[in-house]
A and B are shown apart, each in its own frame.
Chain A
Amino acid sequence: MSIESLVKQFERRLVLVFWMRTAVWYCALWSFGLGVGVIAARTFVGTDAKRLAWGMLGFLGFVLAAWFDSRRQIPGRRELLAILDKENQAGGLVMAGESEPVGAWNGKASRLTLPVVAWDGRKSWTSLAVAAIFLTAAFLVPIPAETVRANQKLEIGKEVEKLEQKIETLKEEDLLDQKKTASLVEALQKVQQQAEGKDPQKSWEALDRIQETVTNNAKQAAENSVAKTEEMAKAQTLAEGLAAENNQLDEQTMNEATQELAKLAQQIMGQSGKGAEALNKELSEALKEALKSGKLSKEQLAELAKALKGSKQDILKQMDKLQKAGLIDPKTLKQCEKAGQCNGAGLAAFIKENKGSGSVGELMDAYGTGGTSRGRGDAKLNYGDASSEEGAKFKEKTLSSGAGSDLKNSQTIAVTNSAPQIEKGNTARPGALSGTQAGNGSAFQQTILPKHRGAVKRYFERQ
């Protein structure tokens, strides 16, 4: 083997050993670094471990960097020759070959052997193994959700966005004035800015309060709408009944009914909102006149019925919009739809049939409740003392929209043996001593820990 090829082979061996050695060290260091990073990211940022697994690609980069570094560590040609000379005990012949023609001494040089490059990699491999275990643990160890939340900003963007949409819907429908809208939006932004993971209850409670305000507004609006729709339906029914060509009401009843209709229409007009916009100026004047004279032409009655129907539709549309925005429930919408149903001809027949049994207004109230001859549908409701609602009425509480999914996605990580944290001033008392006064410290109070539950259960089961 010539000296030249010997040097090349020796260099290759050195590169290989240095590469492996450096790569193992680099990978061990990267494993430690990545492990620390993974734990930090999972703990403080709450990053998903699967996303962090992309960091494993760093190993490829480090193996590549180790290659370049190992090339840099290789001694120069003169040093390589010196090592070969020394290991072969060539007495300087190999080294001399670099600057002097060796000539006849070449034969001696050709008997050279390639030295072994031995790497004691126990320390390096151990370090890599420890680092790999650490990295694996960093990926797999469960991070308590409280720890994650406490160190990051509370993510309430979606909730805030939903609430903003609701507020915007109410604003569009003129159910919220500008000032109130601005204050609600400002409060939302403040909550979002100050939302912190370490105290999520505060933020959730604030959001709940805003949600409650918004929902209450919507509910109030819905209730008003239902009432208004009922009023309109009543007026529409009467107007349709009076406008019908084949109604056989006498003039007196007709006048009385027209006056009742005008009264109803005036009431609707007196209210703000969609119903008031329905009637034009001419019709309003005619209704004022009709209130005195009880006269309205059939065309005017038809026009009135049409106008009332149109405004009722508008209210229904508004209610539908509120329901879609999640501000009212479908039941309220259905209630509103039901309130808007009319049967003019039926009402006219009912008034004719029951003429003299009451005023037109009373007959209208009785219509649809079973009639005067069938049961007590027409009977007046006499209210006594109001019954107490205490203990019977549920206090409605609106959960945040995300609460449901949070519960669904939550999982039990561990059951602690430690005592549950109890807020100050709200200390639970043992059942047997509930309501008793602690007298001079003589009452023994024992906190039941979760780990004692089994024993307590068995105690009560023995018979």
Chain B
Amino acid sequence: MNLPTPEELKPAVQLASQALEQLDKILLGRTDLHRLVLVGILSRGHILLEGLPGVGKTALVKALGQLLSLEFKRVQFTPDLMPSDIVGAHILQENEAGGRDMVFHPGPVFTNILLADEINRASPKTQSALLEAMQEQSVTLLGTTRMLPDPFFVLASQNPIELEGTYPLPEAQLDRFLFKLNVTNVDVDVLDGIISTRRRGAPPVPSWTMSAENLSSVFAMLDRIFLPKPVSRYIARLVAATHPLHDESPDDIRAYVAYGASPRAAIAIAESARAVALLAGRPTVGFEDVKMVAEPVLNHRMILNYKAKFDQITTSGLIRNLLGKLEETGVKLPSDVKITQPA
């Protein structure tokens, strides 16, 4: 496989950059979050957004739906939500001949972008209805498997507070999300900008949208982004080091992590690092691309023990420490020898 030439890469890069630019225009002050969301979308992954009420999670997903010119549906997850409310149900319907048939009525999951708002408010039974859809991109009901439209993204949001009456997502469900992104509060300048430029906070309509064809061409170009062997090795070592019993694990991971990340995490890092490289206009993935996506990929996949909760240790802190300690190239130089860039 030849690397894409700069000319071949340029249109895809422009499309991605334009999409990012539009997102930044619609929602103020969240460039890094927008970049990661776009990376998640380009990697065909599902994204879990976690943040306090009113920080713009839903607005972000809605803006993305508008921007990508894809079919967008929203489900507000509540405790009484049933699986059939998501995947669809067979209902008895009168046919033209006057007879009655069981006709499948597709649920909101049959769309390109599904916004699962406050996903942790639904019961585990309902949450589990999404498992197959997210992994297999299909729905099986009464023995019949129905494919979901391509592309298919689940963009879920959840509230870290008001945990009473919520059902934390099971690990199997969490593992299916490419990224878990924390949506934090914006600073004063951004707030000022929102108040002064948006009437009732309503975001503007995007001036440019990305068509399905454009998105397909970007996906195609993404497949040509080259992942060098040392980088893939680094990803593998990074994921392996999240396990407490691995040789390269730092001491804090040995102390605070009960279970490390799954192989799906390594795949997710590799795919999302490709998207980061594309956004940067490069045909190859570098170590810095991996470092950029490592935290959102790994932070919901590492299960901490009780000691970590007691010591108020977060997965983000552990991952940052791991990234700092693990040598990217795998070359173990003597401690008194350092390689640096010339001043």
Residues of A within 8 A of B (CB): 17-18, 21, 75, 78-79, 81-83, 85-93, 95-96, 98-105, 113-121, 123-124
Contacts A79-B331, A86-B286, A89-B286 aside, 15 further interface pairs with beta carbons under 8 A come to A75-B329, A78-B229, A83-B331, A85-B228, A86-B329, A91-B284, A92-B228, A93-B282, A95-B229, A98-B229, A101-B3, A103-B2, A104-B6, A116-B340, A116-B342
Contact in complex: A113, B284 (CB < 8 Å):
no
5 closest cross-chain pairs (CB), A and B: A92-B284, A91-B286, A95-B228, A82-B230, A82-B329
Q: Is B259 interfacial (CB 8 A cutoff)?
A: no
CA distance A115 to B338 in the complex (A): 10
Q: Which of A81, A98, A114, A124 contacts B342 (CB 8 A)?
A: A114
Contact in complex: A115, B228 (CB < 8 Å):
no
Of the A-B pairs whose beta carbons lie under 8 Å apart in the complex, a sample of 11, sorted by A's number, is A78-B230, A79-B329, A82-B328, A83-B331, A92-B227, A92-B282, A93-B286, A96-B228, A101-B3, A104-B7, A105-B283
B229: A residues at CB distance < 8 A:
78, 95, 98-99
- Residue in A closest to B282 when the chains form the complex, CB atoms: A91
The binding surface of chain B is classed by DSSP as loop
- Residue in A closest to B287 when the chains form the complex, CB atoms: A86
Contact in complex: B280, A91 (CB < 8 Å):
yes
B340: A residues at CB distance < 8 A:
87, 115-116, 118
How many A-B pairs fall under 8 Å by CB? Answer: 119
Contact in complex: B331, A113 (CB < 8 Å):
no
Q: Is B64 interfacial (CB 8 A cutoff)?
A: no
**How distant is A209 from chain B, measured CB to nearest CB, in Å?**
67
**Residues 266-308 of chain B: 1 if any A CB is under 8 Å from the residue's CB, otherwise 0?**
0000000000010010111111110000000000000000000
CA distance A89 to B282 in the complex (A): 12
Contact in complex: B286, A90 (CB < 8 Å):
yes
Q: Is B219 interfacial (CB 8 A cutoff)?
A: no
- Known interface pairs A81-B230, A91-B284, A91-B289. Does A120 touch B336 (Cβ–Cβ under 8 Å)? yes
Q: Is B142 interfacial (CB 8 A cutoff)?
A: no
B341: A residues at CB distance < 8 A:
87-88, 113, 115-116
Q: Is B334 interfacial (CB 8 A cutoff)?
A: yes
B330: A residues at CB distance < 8 A:
79, 82
- Known interface pairs A92-B282, A93-B284, A96-B284. Does A87 touch B339 (Cβ–Cβ under 8 Å)? yes
CA distance A115 to B280 in the complex (A): 23
Contact in complex: A99, B339 (CB < 8 Å):
no
**How distant is A280 from chain B, measured CB to nearest CB, in Å?**
99
- Chain B residues with a Cβ closer than 8 Å to the other chain, count: 34
- Residue in A closest to B329 when the chains form the complex, CB atoms: A82
CA distance A123 to B335 in the complex (A): 11
CA distance A160 to B212 in the complex (A): 111
A105: B residues at CB distance < 8 A:
3, 6, 283
CA distance A100 to B288 in the complex (A): 20
**How distant is A315 from chain B, measured CB to nearest CB, in Å?**
86
User: Within residues 1 to 57 of chain B, which ones have a CB less than 8 A from any CB in chain A?
Assistant: 1-3, 5-7
Q: Is B68 interfacial (CB 8 A cutoff)?
A: no
CA distance A103 to B285 in the complex (A): 16
- Known interface pairs A92-B228, A103-B3, A105-B283. Does A86 touch B328 (Cβ–Cβ under 8 Å)? yes
**How distant is B94 from chain A, measured CB to nearest CB, in Å?**
61
Q: Is B235 interfacial (CB 8 A cutoff)?
A: no
- Residue in B closest to A10 when the chains form the complex, CB atoms: B339
- Residue in B closest to A73 when the chains form the complex, CB atoms: B334
Q: Is B161 interfacial (CB 8 A cutoff)?
A: no
Contact in complex: A117, B339 (CB < 8 Å):
yes
CA distance A124 to B226 in the complex (A): 42
Contact in complex: A101, B230 (CB < 8 Å):
no
CA distance A88 to B1 in the complex (A): 25
**How distant is B332 from chain A, measured CB to nearest CB, in Å?**
9
Q: Which of A79, A104, A119, A121 contacts B230 (CB 8 A)?
A: A79
- Residue in A closest to B5 when the chains form the complex, CB atoms: A104
Q: Is B238 interfacial (CB 8 A cutoff)?
A: no
Contact in complex: B226, A92 (CB < 8 Å):
yes
CA distance A103 to B328 in the complex (A): 26
A90: B residues at CB distance < 8 A:
286
Q: Is B337 interfacial (CB 8 A cutoff)?
A: yes
Q: Is B87 interfacial (CB 8 A cutoff)?
A: no
Q: Is B231 interfacial (CB 8 A cutoff)?
A: yes
Contact in complex: A21, B334 (CB < 8 Å):
yes
B342: A residues at CB distance < 8 A:
113-116
B286: A residues at CB distance < 8 A:
85-86, 89-93, 95
Q: Which of B2, B6, B285, B338 contacts A101 (CB 8 A)?
A: B2
A113: B residues at CB distance < 8 A:
341-342
A98: B residues at CB distance < 8 A:
228-229
A87: B residues at CB distance < 8 A:
339-341
CA distance A123 to B284 in the complex (A): 40
- Known interface pairs A79-B329, A92-B226. Does A115 touch B231 (Cβ–Cβ under 8 Å)? no
**How distant is B124 from chain A, measured CB to nearest CB, in Å?**
41
- Residue in A closest to B8 when the chains form the complex, CB atoms: A104
Contact in complex: B280, A83 (CB < 8 Å):
no
A83: B residues at CB distance < 8 A:
329, 331, 339
**How distant is A128 from chain B, measured CB to nearest CB, in Å?**
14
**How distant is B206 from chain A, measured CB to nearest CB, in Å?**
29
A79: B residues at CB distance < 8 A:
230, 329-331
CA distance A357 to B70 in the complex (A): 169
- Residue in B closest to A120 when the chains form the complex, CB atoms: B336
CA distance A114 to B284 in the complex (A): 21
